[in-house]
Amino acid sequence: MGAGPGRRLKAASFLVIPFLLLTACPLVAQAPAASQAQQIADLQQKVTAAQSNADNGWMLMCSALVLMMTGPGLALFYGGLVRKKNVLSTMLQSFSMMGVVSVLWAIIAFSLAFAPGSHFIGGLQHAFLHNVGAAPDADYAGTIPLQTFMIYQLMFAIITPALITGAFAERIKFSAMMVFLSAWSLIVYAPMAHMVWGKNGLLNAALGGRFPCLDFAGGTVVHVTSGVSALVCAIYLGKRVGYPKEPMPPHSVVLSVIGACMLWVGWFGFNAGSALSAGSLATSAFVATHFGAAAAAVAWSATEWVLHGKPSALGAISGAVAGLVAITPAAGFVSPISAILIGLIAGVFCYFMVAKVKAKLGYDDSLDAFGVHGAGGTLGAILTGVFASKAINPILKDAQGNALNLGVVDGNWSQLGYQLVGVVIAWVLAAIGTIILLKVIDLTIGLRVSSDDEVDGLDLTQHGEEGYYWEASAR
């Protein structure tokens, strides 16, 4: 996000010059100068259209990839981690975001996030997708229809609340969850997206923010907000019945492995797509994403191997996801080797957050939404301030157009401060918004299912179905 256009003019001139030589020369003799100018104008239009089509094709592809991260990616990843009796409810919690957030997005949320407005939230100019059509918005992405930008951003708005569901899995009422996450996407997600990516947003590095926080693909907007809200949910709702005395191991790490692999693949759409064009910046983000995930999978596995004697499948995939989270704000700003360093740090750090810190503090974040997304997102946002380099992405320029230093590796320590501002705002907004919403829902419809229902499982009590139906039980 917030990335400038690529360097496609050079490539375009390769196409234009030979074409001009072939077609224009014979015409010089006969045709008047006006039609020559007309031909050049036509060609320029065609070149622009070709570039626009290429970028648009890539962005539609990326939109589909990011949707795949929620369903089936996250649904499988989380679904495998719960007990058998809650597999469907957990998968549905993610899937239902694909429905309800999409509708809200069209009605108002896209406008609140991306229409011109204050430093903190957008206006209502794009409510009901008013004026969201084929024409690009040059402030966001000059080569793709605003409608493409809108649908791409929607996929982020879907997965972000879905990530939170890992914290209250196996015990929340379905109705309470729907109300909570719908409201959450309006009062936490939309303002945060506006502040970081929206025009005139407080933290927008590219579009005149007061605190230029570098967040390429949503480290603060997606992972810090969802992770911190997850922590608040886990603490507010309390532990699952029987936790931590009763064993609650994942019912199928197989499903989780499949889901994690889909997350990894989908994440290319998430991060590389955030270049908002199909140029070399997308490649840079793609490469950084991959190396970040790979390094973190290695780091988590190695840590586990040393401390427990065995590297586990769940450890390896958790590490990969932690790496993907941490590289999200940095992708598009960092070199491949910096991405590996970020991944290695994230793998070890998130392992300790999940395996040690959670147990010490005693909260029941069922599927480690905070340990992976909150902790990894915070770490990634800060490390972006360390490793971001103008050699990778000259996004900030002075009045003369010279690229300004980005992170500590460029010698710019003040960026770390801006990153911290972004992180603190995300933490505060997510925590306060979540507490208010939980309190209101708690007092009205109630948050948790009864403990009897919890013991029977949410699949049966909330949805009247089972993930693994035993045929012999039918009458």
- Minimum separation from the CB atom of position 247 to another protein (A): 5
Kindly state the smallest distance separating residue 130's Cβ from another protein, in Å: 46
Of the two residues 103 and 307, which places its CB atom closer to another protein in the complex? 307
Among 36, 252, 280, 312, binds another protein (CB under 8 A): 312
The closest of 72, 65, 85, 457 to 256, measured between CA atoms, is 72
Q: Which is nearer to another protein, 55 or 368 (CB)?
A: 368
In DSSP terms, 448 is beta-bridged to 172
The residue whose two tokens read 């740090």 is: 345
Segment 368 to 397, residues that bind another protein, using CB under 8 A = 368
C-alpha 333/C-alpha 351 separation (Å) is 25
Helices 87-104, 146-168: axis angle to 10 degrees equals 150
User: Rounded to 5, what percent of the chain is helix, strand, coil?
Assistant: 70, 0, 30
In this chain, which of 277, 318, 328, 393 binds another protein, going by CB under 8 A? 318
**Beta-bridge partners for 455:** none
In the bound state with another protein, the residue whose beta carbon lies nearer, of 145 and 315, is: 315
**Nearest distance, CB of residue 68 and another protein, angstroms:** 24
Among 26, 32, 247, 401, binds another protein (CB under 8 A): 247
Residue span binding another protein (CB under 8 A) among the ranges 38-46, 203-211, 244-252, 287-295: 244-252
Footprint on residues 248-307 left by another protein (CB under 8 A): 249-250, 304, 307
Closer of 137 and 170 to another protein (Cβ): 170
Residues 77 and 316: their CA atoms lie apart, in Å, by 13
Among 315, 329, 332, 457, binds another protein (CB under 8 A): 315
Cα gap 49→56, rounded to integer Å = 10
- Residue 111 CA to residue 109 CA, distance in Å, equals 5
Distance (Å, rounded) from C-alpha 299 to C-alpha 283?
A: 24
Number of residues that bind another protein (CB under 8 A): 18
* CB of 129 or CB of 314, closer to another protein: 314
d(CA 90, CA 83): 10
Q: What is the maximum span of the chain, computed from C-alpha positions, in angstroms?
A: 91
75 binds another protein (CB under 8 A): no
Least CB distance to another protein at residue 304 (A): 8
> Per residue in 250-259, is it b (16+ CB within 10 Å) or e — as a string?
bbbbebbbbb
Are 309 and 335 in contact by the 8 Å Cβ rule? The answer is no
Q: How far is the CB of 298 from another protein (least distance, A)?
A: 17
Phi, psi of 445 (to 5 degrees): -95, -10
**CB contact at 8 A, 158 and 97:** yes
- What residues numbered 321-360 form the site for another protein, per CB under 8 A? 351, 354-356, 359
Question: Which residue in 10, 310, 360, 475 binds another protein (CB under 8 A)?
Answer: 310
With CB under 8 A as the contact rule, which of the stretches 99-107, 128-136, 245-253, 257-265 interacts with another protein?
Answer: 245-253
Stretch that binds another protein, among 55-63, 106-114, 215-223, 313-321 (CB under 8 A): 313-321
Residues in contact with 299: Cβ distance below 8 Å, sequence separation at least 6, in sequence order: 319, 323, 343, 344, 345, 346, 347, 348, 351
Verify binding: residue 308, another protein, rule CB under 8 A.
yes
Q: How far is the CB of 354 from another protein (least distance, A)?
A: 5
Q: What is the distance between the alpha carbons of residues 256 and 352, in angstroms, rounded to a whole number?
A: 20
Q: Please state, in angstroms and rounded to a whole number, the distance separating the CA atoms of residues 176 and 441.
A: 7
State the nearest-atom distance from the C-beta of 249 to another protein, in Å.
Answer: 5
Q: Identify which of residues 359 and 432 has a Cβ nearer to another protein in the complex.
A: 359
Min dist. Cβ of residue 241 to another protein (A): 17
Nearest approach in angstroms of CB 308 to another protein is 5
What residue ranges bind another protein (CB under 8 A)? 244, 247, 249-250, 304, 307-308, 310, 312, 314-315, 318, 351, 354-356, 359, 368
